Amino acid sequence: MSESPPFPLFRFGGNKPGPRLLISAGVHGDEYLPMLAVQKLVQHFEESPALSDSLAGTLTLIPVVNESAFSLGRRCGEDGKDLARTCPGSPKGTITERVAAALSREIKSADFYVDLHTGGTELSVFPLAGYVLHPDQTILEKQRELARSFQLPFCWGTSAGLKGRSLSVARDENVPAIYVEYFGAHRELSEATRGISLDHTLVHGCLNVARHLGLFAEEESTRIAPEFIEDTRPDSGHMQVCHPAPATGFFRSRVELGQEVGNGALLAQITPPESGETIEVRANRAGKVIVLRDYPRIKQGDAIAVIADPFPQV
């Protein structure tokens, strides 16, 4: 018998044949809306056993993967490690390494995987479903379909080379997987404090994926055709390294999330408290602003924005 995982886990269905779908939230401890959305799903299935029994396949829900980080209200757990850089982890390691090992075990035993995120405390991310540009074309196509089925406005395919992520485990195990990003920072807090209903975009998105995979008898209904951008550059998808701040100081963004900008466009201004002189940060490529810092203070080296553009250009 395997030992119980270091996070709460809920399984529904399993009486009828069908795919095993795993959905997780709270890989980072300061991304609250996805945790509330998955908790809402748990409540929805617990309140309707008939719905759970009717599932063709198994739905596994993990509302808060990283309880250590959640209890601190921070991205990383008490050992200071980022769970999304620690997978596949180690069952005998530190708390984050143990959680990574348990999550990796769940991913390996799934047929499809959805990992929900936001920009956390200081970043905001345009609502998107992301996937790695898997070398296996069949898996890549399934991932594009998963991303589309979540029904967010934007889908982003990026380098398959990044290490340590939950999606790195899925990639290595050939489990089709997507991650989802949905705002963050102040945008997220205002929604989270109002509470999450079954109509929330994130709850809907998870149910859309389950419908797409045939877990429900009811057919998938497609309402929007998302924009797709794919980027084969080796570091694409690494949100924490783009447009690093040249100085620590007060931060003011000069673009909107989702805006199309030209190369050289003014992205932000930073005013170090000691000099009072304003430093401008400009876009190093043209494209769509999909990640933007959303906090009045920035530290030197912190990412200011991510701009998505197709690569290679076609």
213 vs 291 by CB, closer to Zn ion: 291
Distances (CA, A) of 182 to 144, 238, 301, 314: 18, 16, 23, 28
Q: Which is nearer to Zn ion, 117 or 243 (CB)?
A: 117
- By C-beta, is 20 or 165 nearer to Zn ion? 165
Contact between 165 and Zn ion (CB under 5 A)? no
Residue 123: strand pairing partners = 293
In angstroms, the CA 78 to CA 252 distance is 31
Whichever of 52 and 124 has its CB closer to Zn ion, that residue is 124
81 binds Zn ion (CB under 5 A): no
Residue 195 Cβ vs Zn ion, minimum distance, rounded to whole Å: 21
Q: Are strands 56-62 and 16-25 parallel, antiparallel or unpaired?
A: parallel
Question: Applying CB under 5 A, which part among 23-31, 139-147, 156-164, 258-266 lies near Zn ion?
Answer: 23-31
Partnered with residue 270 across adjacent β-strands are 251, 279
Q: Which is nearer to Zn ion, 76 or 270 (CB)?
A: 76
Residue least distant from Zn ion (Cβ): 117
**The tokens 């807090």 sit on which residue?**
189
CB of 31 to Zn ion, least distance (A): 5
Q: How far is the CB of 86 from Zn ion (least distance, A)?
A: 13
Cα(309)–Cα(314) distance, integer angstroms:
11
Site size toward Zn ion, by CB under 5 A: 3
CB of 218 to Zn ion, least distance (A): 31
Binders of Zn ion among 95-124, rule CB under 5 A?
117
Cα separation, 27 vs 70, in Å, equals 9
Alpha-carbon distance values, 131 to 40, 124, 205, 256, 283 (Å)? 24, 19, 15, 24, 24
CB of 83 to Zn ion, least distance (A): 9
Amino acid at 192: A
Q: Mark residues 224-263: x for contact with Zn ion by CB under 5 A, - for none.
A: ----------------------------------------
Q: Cβ closer to Zn ion: 31 or 97?
A: 31
Query: Rounded to the nearest whole angstrom, what is the least distance from the CB of residue 266 to Zn ion in the complex?
Result: 28
* Whether 251 contacts 300, CB under 8 Å: no
Question: Closest separation between CB of residue 304 and Zn ion, Å?
Answer: 18
Q: Which residue number, 24 or 52, has a Cβ lying nearer to Zn ion?
A: 24
| Closest approach of Zn ion to the CB of residue 7, in Å | 15
Site for Zn ion in 29-68 (CB under 5 A): 31
Q: Which is nearer to Zn ion, 261 or 304 (CB)?
A: 304
Q: Does residue 28 bind Zn ion (CB under 5 A)? A: yes
Query: Which positions lie near Zn ion, rule CB under 5 A?
Result: 28, 31, 117
